[in-house]
Structure 1
Amino acid sequence: MLHNTNSLTTFLSKLSVLNYKYRLLENDKEQFNIFKVLHKETDEVRLHSRFISVLLSPESTHNKKETFLKLFLEQLSIENFDTTNVKVYPTESQKSEFKEIDILIINRVSKQAIIIENKIWAGDSNHYHRGQLEGYYDLIHLSENIPKENIYVLYLTLDGHYPTVESLGKFGSLDNMNGKTIDYEHEIQTWLTLCLQECISHPFLRESIIQYINLIKQMSNDFTNMEERLEIINLISSSSENMSSAKLLVENFKHVKWHTVWDFWYELSIELEKEGYIVNLKPSKEDVTCTTHFEVYKKSYEASNDYGLRLSLNGKIQLFIWNGTGDDWLYWGIYPQGLQLDKLLTIESLGCFNKNETEYWKYFDLCSQENIFFPDFSYKGTFNLIDRNYRKMMITEKIVHEINSYVGTILNE
């Protein structure tokens, strides 16, 4: 056992040196990115959907007419789509979505349409009477009089995950909506690379696409270049000890992740109790095993994969802290039924809460490098929680502090 520990320590030290070397080289590269300057990098509507739609539109000022659109259709194997008379929403001049659809490619002459639902972090916006994708599909079919067989649905995400059953509604699957999942790292990045080849003599357009590709690589955690990857492979394969150490890390990292997530929720509940909150359903460690995936925390309503904590304070405020297993990072909120009507106006006046029919909620005000997304430890904010000191800092100085600040504002109104 001691031999394994020493070998792993040596292997990690060598890997750390390699990482340090490439991070130094990375710091010498130009870091400026106009997209990150103008918008939050995860801004689905104002950044990603608008830029993609402008490239797709034959009417845009890039003057490439249907070229980019045709490359997009070829990349996604969508055949026999008439690219003449096509309208793409949002447009350069009208930046709003078409009836809340992130990107709509529509040919009202040939009666064809492509719906692109763009999900960077947000979950599906379902309603009690219909799912999000179900509603968009029916909307285009009925309001635009387009046959269902001529409507395609593309579900665009960072990791290619599937939409929720609720979003699909009565259709049950994307196949029944002529649909498929696509992601930024593969389909979108490949398409953009093809677009680059068409704008060699257009420097402004070319550099804009290059910067957008770089943004996608950062969002997809695709930082390593080929040389760095080859060095990592060579390091692992250079000795049997390194091979064993790498295998040990791979086999045990799932346990590291599980314990990190469990410790986070448990330590958070303890800190909240110190502040006077009553934490409902706080578990003992015996209640949770690796296979239950925090069942003790799960929401009570049907078909939910979300988990988190429910809180109350002085019998006046009902709160929750939640992390979905789909594509929502850590967020918190307040149940309206726990507040008087005048307090609801106070929440809205804070200018930071979103709302649906049953709750007010917001993501924690963490910087983009610190966002917590438990399903994926490749994100820095999640990975760093393995460090108990970092985890304590995030809980006490960020999360609990933010909740206390807003709750204090509400109670003092």
Structure 2
Amino acid sequence: MDLIIKMHIDFNLYKTNVSGTSLFNTYSEKCNAVIIENKIYAGDSNHKDTVDEVGDGASDIKVGYKGQLERYYNTVSNGINKKGDDTDLKRNVRQVAYLTLAGHHPTKESIGMLPIEPKIISYIDHISKCLEQCAAMIDNTSPKLSTDIRQYRQLVIRLTSEVPQVLKNQAVISDKIDIAWELENSDKFFTSDMAPIFNHVKWHTIDDFFNELAYALEQQENCNVVSRPDPESVTKVAHSKGRSTHMLILTFVLNGNSMQIVSDSKGFTLGNLSTMQWDNIKGVDVKLNDFSKEGTFRMIKGSDREIVVSEIVSFTLENYNKLKKVF
């Protein structure tokens, strides 16, 4: 981030580049560039090894172009896109920034063979301060631009101010989880009376859970997470009033097996896409679409989520290669 702040603001040097169907930004100065992936409402766009548009039985994905961040890096640094075509842009990539609302990390698959560690930046923790510093730097030399930057900063603050409050609400419920559950269990206090506010707590709880599950899986040997539920899917479940049939899917590769953990209205299932075998994940009484159930409600508390994550990971490691049902 310091590198970005120190650069002179020159809109002629700022470009938006198209790679396939994805957009990414580069700030280039002579032969140098900073890649900024603005990841707000979508998951990482990683390619699978099985892509074979040519039809020769081999993967069309070039080495170093499978994960989203590594693909952007190699496209800019090599001047060659994922299809092997030359581009007009070849720069020495100084930094890769991963910009999100609250500072979550890219997937291991997205990073791939990226030779530099991505800089994690959040609108909440970093962008507001950065904008103020940029505005202060040009108060005297470019007062109009300085004013415009400060106006944009106020917009960012307004758009993100809801998130800190939601996290505070989540923390309050977590700290008093037993009392909170009594209120919910007695008259649906949270899922009914406080639904407009509680929906946001549900959203962050579900998002936290899948981020923590993905992290726990990636700590296992020979396990790489490919994708996790995108924010739009989480919203459909969190705002469903307990009636959603929408599925939330986490995809990963374990010991060469393409796997999925699926959450739906019936609970969790584990699928081995390599063998097309599935089974219900046993020992986990959680339905993410229904926070009026105690097992799901208690997921608001981090230590309870940790237990559920541990149980799912254990079941996965023990059963991924011996699932019984064929769908």
- Specify the TM-score bucket, using the shorter chain as the normaliser: 0.3 to 0.5
**Higher CA-based Rg:** 1
TM-score, L = length of structure 1: 0.34
TM-score, scaled to structure 2: 0.41
Please state which structure has a larger fraction of its residues in strand.
2
The structure with the largest helix share of the pair is: 1
